[in-house]
Amino acid sequence: MSALKTDQRVPEDENMTGDSPTSPPPSNRSGNEALREMSNPHRGRAIKDLIARIAMWVSFFVAMVPLAWILWTVVSKGIHLLLSATWWTGNQRNINSSDVGGGARHAIEGTLMMAGVTALIAVPIGILTAVYLVEYGRGGLARAISFMVDILSGVPSIVAALFIYAVWVTTFGLDRSGFAAALALVLLMIPVIVRSTEEMLKLVPNELREAAYALGVPKWVTIVKIVLRTAFSGIVTGVLLGLARIMGETAPLLILAPYTKNFQHDLFNGNFPTLPMMINQDRGDFALASAAARMWGTALTLILLVLLLNIIGRVIAHFGSVKK
Amino acid sequence: MSVSRIGAIGAIALSGALALSACASENPAPAASASSGGTSGASAADCFSGDLKAEGSTAQKNAIDEAIKAYQTACANANIDYQPTGSGAGIKQFIAKQVDFAGSDSALKTVPKDGKVEATDAKNACGSDAWNLPMVTGPIAIAYNVKGVDKLVLNAEVAAKIFDGKITTWNDPAIAALNKGVTLPATPIKVFFRSDESGTTENFTKYLHAAAPSAWTYDPAKKWTGQGEGKEKSAGVATATKGQDGGITYVELSYAQQNQLPMAQIDNGSGPVELTPEAAGKTIATAKQTGTGNDLALKIDYATKEAGAYPIVLVTYEIVCSKYADAETGKKVKSFLKSFSSDAVQKSLTSLGYAPLPTEVATKVQSAVNAIS
Amino acid sequence: MSTVTGVSATDDPPGPDGRTPLRGVSASTGRLGDRLFGGAATVSGVIVIATVTLIAVFLIVQAVPALRDNQASFFTSREWAPGGDTPRFGIVEFLWTTVAASTMAMIIAVPFGVAVALFLTQYAPLWMRGPAAALVDLLAAVPSIVYGLWGLITFAPFFKPIQGWLENTLGWIPLFSPTGISGGTILFIGLVLSIMVLPIVTALSREVFAQTPLAHKEGALALGATRWEMIRTAVLPFGRPGVISAAMLALGRALGETIAVTFLVSSLPDGAAWTWSLFNGGETFASKIANNAAEFSNPNKTGAYIAAGLVLFVLTFIVNSIARIVIERRKAFTE
């Protein structure tokens, strides 16, 4: 019992004194359930607390096992290719599945370019839509937009790709290209950005807006300089989550952006190299050690790229945040 | 979406592209040297510079990759991409003018299927006749994984019953009768089939239908009609078979080899035949041309009883326009296929698990390639 | 407490000093600026509406002729033979696989994800919180193709014996009856999907839990609540809408996941016996479309797959709407 008592103390990190399970005041506003609990003997509460504590620790470690396993698989099987300079400078020209190594620069550049173009289109639309929903939208149009964003977030990547194929190739008669794939990715990225930006804008206290209006600041200046600025770090995080999501999307690329093993910087003509398609290229032959190593190496490169973006985002969020 | 909008987006995208390409490295030459080249199928005079796009059959991926490598080694300015997405996809993209030529495990169909005649559509897309040029032939292995059984003989009848779920254990008397002296376990048979629509499935079921019509009553098709468990693409079925005691599948030779799966010998009526490129070549030699002129669609006698002939093979074609609307593209296709069909390149493919074309077919292909414009 | 969302941000009040947001901008330029900015925001919203409408029109236009020619019942038939002169196709099998696998993923991922998020915000030692949160965020961003590869190559061989054992032990329950499918069962797909969406649930829930007003937490603790009681009375009620939307986002991902499922799934042959077993194979909507997208050779056949895509689309939408309703009701209740 005494062990339990020490256990249920609040850790040091909150600057409060430990709780003692004695004399719960009858007027606990925030929890009817807690009230019911508290009429029980103390012992049951302490045990429950202990069980919860253990359950949290166990859950954490159980959840981390597969996730650590995945990272370990990718790193241990792919890292050796990334250590050669060729990987970062070369391409896959004349590297067949049975050949070892080669470079991934063409695909790294391709993925970054495609992500960049996608973001250029999706981020302004997404943020402005969120601004409309939070700052302007009342009534029918806002509800309709919110509804549509919900629908858009429900569009599976494969359906988005088929839609763009129907428009781009079947209707307009244009060639499949990196840009066509970027358009499909835009459809997937917009709802992520709208929803995350929306959440962040809602967290901006109304007092800030009201103070600005009271001082005669025009609404749009209030939004740009105060609301968006306050929510900046959150918005950046949302954009990066969206980017991470689309950089690894494979289905639209399969349908819209055929892979090339050569350097290619033209998004509008010809095939386009990307990391997911490079993985896909080697996946068919992963029984061969050479192809398997390249596949894991490419996967690791893709993860590193996402990680890098995350770090950049954190830095931007840190220095751009109003708290500094 | 108006044109000006696309233009504006394009401008934004382009500026992004320029900014990014500015930091791209200046090394156009491949960083890693070609290791198994040495089969320079193209002389420097023939080289084109620019891009050539092809798409289609996964069965010919390794062959065409090798041919591309040989060509690109000789021609530093040529970029050839082949998307191994499947025969149907290749034909579809060829008809949609998305690729310059298509790879397919079956010739363009001349009878309506799903309301369309492929050959007519291809002809319309080209503005000229579309030709089927057989370029590579590949044996399909019946690969299996049964503990303690490293030699297995099957015939069409038994194979059909296995793949149709009529024979369910490895020690079935029908299998035992073909494998005297082999101890077969009572392990249940697990059939793995291609869940995607595949030229390999079509050719395999063509074989079953032709050689054992009473046991395999379904029409040959790209979609699997038998029993079992579906896995995606050749790699999927090969991996699944490797991981499952009692597993059996049909897969291109190279995938069976990559996964070190044992392959069944086929008794075509004249004794068991092991799968070798030569044995497959004997079946290919029975092929009859069904196309006219330079259209070299072949018909294989799957029910061949010739001694030493391995009957489960597929012929994979390159589907090309006889006369390209863009003369430049025609030159590119011609130049590359000339190299691909050259004796030097064709010989190098044997080591990758492909069977050579019979000499008279090869000669016809070479002259047809020369007629492309 | 008069914010738009009912979420109070009073725990992080704007400092009265140290900020100069209110630079003198003359009101006269404000009018035009307001119109332009507001206009741009409206146009963006309208673009979203137009896009979704286009997608819907595209799906319906392509699906309707195929559905009209369909000789079988679209919602109850298990056949899938689109194209041809007498197309027959129904979605019941994809619907079952998709829903069963996604539900399984949710049953595993949501409790675990919430528990891990609580751990990271309430229980973990301080030194652990930052790095662990960063790790979870990174994992949430790992592309699904990587989960697919890992599932196919590393996890499947490991899980196979476990699955065999489960099949033998629990086989008497219809939901777990053996079917002879060796690898990509619904159970396995659900498990890999749960691992895939777990970081998403965790990352989003963690953010919401971290926003719990300190006043609520301190209040609960000051009243003598144990840590767990504090979580139940302050953190969870505050975070519930966030957790629900995180779970729904994850469910949306699980329902529509294409490439990883395509790698893993074991499809069934035509005419396979129907079973409720989670050890059965079967394609999901997304994997079925992806597996055959390369072969969309005629409008009628394509239409059948598009119709399946439409169902997936509607399914995801329903899930999202339910989440929204729950969140709205919750919000109204709190205010």
Facing residue for C269 by CB, picked from B228, B232, B247? B228
Query: Tokens in use for C281?
Result: 């194979």
Q: What Rg do the C-alpha atoms of chain C give, in angstroms?
A: 25
Structural domain of B357:
6-138+285-298+314-370
Residue A128 lies in a domain: yes
Residue B118 sits in the same domain as residue B166:
no
Above pLDDT 90, what percent of chain A?
A: 42
Domain boundaries, chain C: 92-290+311-334
C331 band by pLDDT with thresholds 50, 70 and 90: low
Task: Give the residue numbers of the binding site of B for phosphate.
Answer: 57-59, 87, 105, 198-200
- Answer yes or no: do B83 and A258 touch at CB < 8 A: yes
A17 within some domain: no
How are the residues of chain C apportioned to helix, strand and coil, as percentages rounded to the nearest 5?
Answer: 70, 0, 25
- The closest of C222, A169, A86 to B95, measured between CA atoms, is A169
From the number of C-beta atoms within 10 Å of its C-beta (0-12, 13-18, 19+), residue C204 rates as buried
Residue B348, strand partner residues: none
Say if the Cβ atoms of A109 and B20 lie within 8 Å: yes
Residues B211 and B123 in one domain: no
Residue B43 sits at φ, ψ, to 5 deg, of -85, 155
CA dihedral over C292, C296, C299, C300, signed as positive or negative: negative
Beta strands at B130-145 and B313-321: parallel, antiparallel or unpaired? antiparallel
Report the domain count for chain A.
1
Using CA of residue A93, residue A95, residue A97, residue A102, what is the dihedral sign? Answer: negative
Token output for C98: 């998709």
Total CB pairs under 8 A between chain A and B: 125
Residue B193, classed as helix, strand or coil, is strand
Topology at the third CATH level for domain C92-290+311-334: MetI-like fold (1.10.3720)
Residue A206 lies in a domain: yes
| The pLDDT value given to residue A156 | 85
The reply to whether residue B116 touches residue C298, judged by beta carbons under 8 angstroms, is: yes
Lowest mean pLDDT among A38-42, A272-276, B279-283, C56-60: A38-42
In the predicted structure, residue A26 carries a pLDDT above the cut 50: no
Q: Tell me if A192 is assigned to some domain.
A: yes
B92 and B159 share one domain: no
Single out the residue of B303, B306, B301 nearest to residue B288, CA to CA.
Answer: B301
Whether B337 and B356 map to the same domain: the answer is yes
Supply the CATH number for residue B45's domain.
3.40.190.10
Confidence of residue A36 (pLDDT cuts 50, 70, 90): low
**pLDDT tens, C202-239?**
988 998 898 888 888 889 999 988 889 999 888 998 88
C 51-70 residues inside an 8 A Cβ radius of A = 51-56, 58-59, 62
pLDDT, residue A285, reads 86
pLDDT at A16 over 60: no
Residue C151 is classified by DSSP as I
**What is the reported pLDDT for A23?**
42
pTM score, two decimals? 0.85
Flag whether B308 is in a domain.
Answer: no
Residues C73, C79, C80, CA angle at the centre, nearest 5°?
105
Cα first-last separation, chain C:
8
A window 240-299, beta carbon within 8 A of B: 254, 258-263, 265-268, 270-271, 283-288
- Please report all neighbours of C, defined by 3+ CB atom pairs within 8 A: A, B
B66 neighbourhood in chain A, CB within 8 Å: 96
Considering only alpha carbons, which residue of chain C is nearest residue B192? C266
> How large is the average pLDDT for residues C86-108?
92
Cα-based torsion angle of the residue sequence B35, B40, B45, B48 in order, rounded to the nearest 10 degrees: -60
Q: Are residues B175 and B275 in the same domain?
A: yes
In tens, the pLDDT along A136-167 reads 877 889 989 988 888 888 788 888 998 998 88
* C contact residues 229-258, partner A, Cβ 8 Å cutoff: 229, 231-234, 237, 249, 252, 255-256, 258
| CA terminus-to-terminus distance, chain A | 47
Task: Give me the residue from B13, B17, B235 closest to A285, CB to CB.
Answer: B235
Chain A 149-188, residues with CB within 8 Å of chain C CB atoms: 149-163, 166-167, 187
Asked whether residue B156 falls in the same domain as residue B93, the answer is no
Amino acid at B265: Q
Question: What's the pLDDT at A39?
Answer: 53
Q: Which of A93, A164, A255, A268 to mutate to test the interface with B (most CBs of B within 10 A)?
A: A93
Give the one of C153, C283, C298 whose C-beta lies nearest to B114's C-beta.
C298
Is there a contact between C313 and A306 if contact means CB atoms under 8 Å apart?
no
Q: Is B186 helix (H, G, I), strand (E, B) or coil?
A: coil
**What is the sign of the dihedral through the CA atoms of A35, A37, A39 and A42?**
negative
For C54, name the nearest residue in chain A, comparing CA atoms only.
A163
CA distance B233 to chain A (A): 8
Instruction: Please tell me what DSSP assigns to residue B85.
Output: S
Rounded Cα distance between B205 and B199, Å, is 10
Closest Cα of chain B to C267: distance in Å?
4
**Rounded to whole angstroms, how far apart are CA atoms B155 and B176?**
12
pLDDT of residue C249: 82
Instruction: Tell me how far the alpha carbon of residue A6 is from its chain's centroid.
Output: 40
In a domain, A214, yes or no: yes
Half-sphere exposure (Cβ direction) of A195: Cα atoms closer than 13 Å: 23
Number of domains chain B is built from? 2
Residues B117 and B149 in one domain: no
Which pair of tokens denotes residue B263? Answer: 């392959």
What's the pLDDT score for residue C324? 77
The C-alpha of B305 sits at a distance from chain C's nearest C-alpha, in angstroms, of 31
Query: Mean pLDDT over residues B314-324, rounded?
Result: 93
The CATH number of whichever domain residue A200 belongs to comes to: 1.10.3720.10
B229 CA: distance to closest CA in chain A (Å) = 19
Q: Is C236 helix (H, G, I), strand (E, B) or coil?
A: helix
Instruction: State residue A309's pLDDT score.
Output: 86
Same-domain pairing of B189 and B274 = yes
Count of alpha carbons within 13 angstroms of residue A201, beta-carbon side: 23
B122 and B163 inside one domain: no
Report yes or no: A21 and A45 within 8 Å, Cβ to Cβ: yes
Q: Quick one: B169 and B61 in the same domain?
A: no
Please say if the pLDDT value at position B142 is more than 90: yes
Range of the structural domain that residue A264 is part of: 105-320
Q: Tens of pLDDT along C259-298? A: 999 999 998 888 778 888 888 888 999 999 888 887 776 7
B243 within a domain of the structure (yes/no): yes
- Checking ipTM against 0.85, whether it exceeds it is no
Give me chain B's average pLDDT, please.
Answer: 84
Contact residues on chain A for B62, CB-CB shorter than 8 A: 96-97
Higher pLDDT among residues B41 and B331, named by residue: B331
Confidence tier at A287 by pLDDT (50, 70, 90): confident
- B106 and B224 belong to one structural domain: no
Q: Residues B183, B299: contact at Cβ < 8 Å?
A: no
pLDDT of B80 over the 80 cut: yes
The verdict on residue B327 lying in a domain is yes
CB-count burial class (<10 Å; 0-12, 13-18, 19+) for B8: exposed
- Considering the domain boundaries, does residue A95 fall inside one? no
Per-residue pLDDT, C314: 86
Does any domain span residue B125? yes
CB of C210 closer than 8 Å to CB of A33:
no
pLDDT at C11: 36
pLDDT digits (tens, 9 = 90+) for C101-156: 999 999 999 999 999 999 999 899 999 888 888 888 888 878 899 999 999 999 99
The shortest CB-CB distance from A148 to any of C31, C52, C144 is to: C52
Q: Using H for helix, E for strand and C for coil, what is the string for chain A? A: CHHHHHHCCCCCCCCCCCCCCCCCCCCCCCCHHHHHHHCCCHHHHHHHHHHHHHHHHHHHHHHHHHHHHHHHHHHHHHHHHHCCHHHHHCCCCCCCCCCCCCCCHHHHHHHHHHHHHHHHHHHHHHHHHHHHHHHHCCCHHHHHHHHHHHHHHCCCHHHHHHHHHHHHHHHCCCCCCHHHHHHHHHHHHHHHHHHHHHHHHHHCCHHHHHHHHHCCCCHHHHHHHHHHHHCHHHHHHHHHHHHHHHHCCCHHHHHHCCCCCCCCCCCCCCCCCCHHHHHHHHHCCCCCHHHHHHHHHHHHHHHHHHHHHHHHHHHHHHHHCCCC
Question: Please, are residues A121 and B10 in contact by the beta-carbon 8 Å criterion?
Answer: no
Contacts of residue A215, defined as CB under 8 A and 6 or more positions apart, other chains included, come to C22
On whether both B171 and B132 belong to a single domain, the answer is no
Distance from C-alpha of C8 to C-alpha of C64, rounded to nearest angstrom: 48
The DSSP element (H or E) to which C44 belongs, if any, is helix C27-69
Q: Is B228 helix (H, G, I), strand (E, B) or coil?
A: coil
Query: Residues of B annotated in the binding site, as ranges?
Result: 57-59, 87, 105, 198-200
Alpha-carbon distance of B196 to C288, in angstroms, equals: 9
For C164-196, the pLDDT digits (tens) are 888 888 888 888 888 878 888 999 999 999 999
- What's the pLDDT band for A118 if we cut at 50, 70, 90? very high
- For the cut 70, the answer to whether the pLDDT of residue B273 exceeds it is yes
Distance from CA of C289 to the nearest CA of B (A): 10
